[in-house]
Amino acid sequence: MENEYNIMNEIYFERIKHSRIMSWMLFIANLILVPMVVLMLWGCEPAVEPTREFIIRKGDHYASPTLSESLQSRKLVFEAKFNESAVYDFGSDALQSNKNKLMGFCDSNSLPHQNSARFAWQWYNNRLEIYAYCYFKGERQEQFIGVVPINEYSHYELELSNDHYIFKLNDQAPVLMKRANTNEVGTYFKLWPYFGGHIAAPHDVTIDIKTIY
Amino acid sequence: MKKIILLILEVTFFAVVANAQHISLVPTVEKTVAGNQYGSLLVFQTKRLWSIGGFYQSSVTRTSEGIQTSNPFYGVSISAPLVRSGKINLLANGRVGVVNEDFLVVVPGLETEVKISRSISVSSLMSIRMSYPSAALRIAIKI
């Protein structure tokens, strides 16, 4: 009888211990989550400043941080600032005219080399040139848009229309590039800075990008 | 003193409330990097606190021509309990939906739900939207 009582006691003790651990976990989770939510909701300022510094390390193509984000409206708007690290010399026109990618997106459920639209850049003729850079059904298309200064933010817009991508740089006239007929509903992954072409970054390249939502 | 604090904590957080499956209407306000969104969720919750429902939310801007909505986001919301304790629950939340009619979006989140009364509970939801944290406040009303 006493033995049974002890076993029952042990079982209940274990249950109470388990519940107490659960209660503390919940308390701690709430202690962290609730103030965060309240602070974010009540703050008048934006929750975060959507400016990111992308660095392409010497010898790399991809920039860090590595991000996975999809487009959520028909217009991608951002401001980007290059600095002196955008200046490079490969010693030949062919290599110097390789387009480096700034930012853009894949079209609906497509890969970058199937259907995509991006702003591209190159240091050429001692100036920073910006291009519209698209893939249309797997075929690459490029068009010069304009020149931007270094150490200053420039304004970029890339809009989806039914059959064109519309590129806008600062106050310049828009540039239209053909868009393939793809599925409308789907994932439009954003594409981030990439150096090259074939040749990797000759030194660390820094680009500040401020996304405007 | 320690015992009193423990007692208060356990009375507050340790209470076990019987759950039954039900449908709730959940008005929601969410702060994202792109601004505030308002909407609601109609959700079916099982007695084990799994829930599934449909939601609609959008940004609201006041202009000289009146109130206009933009960036509509609608889809399906699913919650699964991580830790349950009757009055307070910690839930994993996932929302899958479409923004601006064309853009498929998946939003993972973590939610804490506090039961205020038999028919009302309040929850706070932290999610990742547009690769930035977002915070939502929800009030669930059993219908």
CATH code (residue A200): 2.60.120.200
* A38 and A110 fall within a common domain: no
Integer Cα distance of A58 and A85 in angstroms: 11
Cβ proximity of A79 and A157 under 8 Å: no
* A26 and A7 fall within a common domain: yes
For the stretch A105-161, pLDDT in tens is 999 888 999 999 999 999 999 999 999 999 999 999 999 999 999 999 999 999 998
Contact B110 A41 (CB under 8 A): no
* A76 and A28 fall within a common domain: no
For the stretch A24-82, pLDDT in tens is 777 777 777 777 777 666 665 555 667 899 999 999 999 999 888 889 989 999 999 99
CATH code (residue B44): 2.40.160.20
* A181 and A82 fall within a common domain: yes
Chain B residues with CB under 8 Å of A188 CB are: 102-103
Integer Cα distance of A211 and A103 in angstroms: 10
* A55 and A42 fall within a common domain: no
Residue B6 in domain: no
Of the partner residues B14, B88, B125, the one whose CB lies closest to the CB of residue A19? B14
Beta-bridge partner residues of B59:
B37, B70
Tokens of A61: 């193509």
- With an 8 Å Cβ cutoff, the interface of chain B facing chain A consists of 9-10, 13-14, 29, 31-35, 71, 83-85, 88-90, 98-105, 110, 112, 114, 124-126, 130-137
Q: What H or E segment, with its residue span, contains residue B118?
A: none
Count up the domains in chain A and report the number: 2
> Residue B16: pLDDT above 70?
no
Residue B89 in domain: yes
Integer Cα distance of A210 and B16 in angstroms: 48
* A118 and A149 fall within a common domain: yes
Residue of A nearest to B86 (CA): A23
Quote the domain boundaries for residue B130. Answer: 17-142
Residue B77 in domain: yes
* A123 and A139 fall within a common domain: yes
Contact B126 A33 (CB under 8 A): yes
Cβ proximity of B28 and B134 under 8 Å: no
For the stretch A173-211, pLDDT in tens is 999 999 986 668 889 999 999 998 888 999 999 999 998
Quote the domain boundaries for residue A200. Answer: 51-212
Cβ proximity of A148 and A130 under 8 Å: yes
* A103 and A190 fall within a common domain: yes
Report yes or no for ipTM above 0.90.
no
Count up the domains in chain B and report the number: 1
* A40 and A83 fall within a common domain: no
Q: What local confidence, expressed as pLDDT, does residue B15 receive?
A: 45
Give the model's confidence band at B19: pLDDT under 50 very low, under 70 low, under 90 confident, else very high: low
* A143 and A198 fall within a common domain: yes
* A195 and A107 fall within a common domain: yes
Final residue of a structural domain among A10, A30, A47:
A47
Cβ proximity of A193 and A80 under 8 Å: no
Chain A residues with CB under 8 Å of B71 CB are: 72-73
Residue B78 in domain: yes
Residue of A nearest to B113 (CA): A30
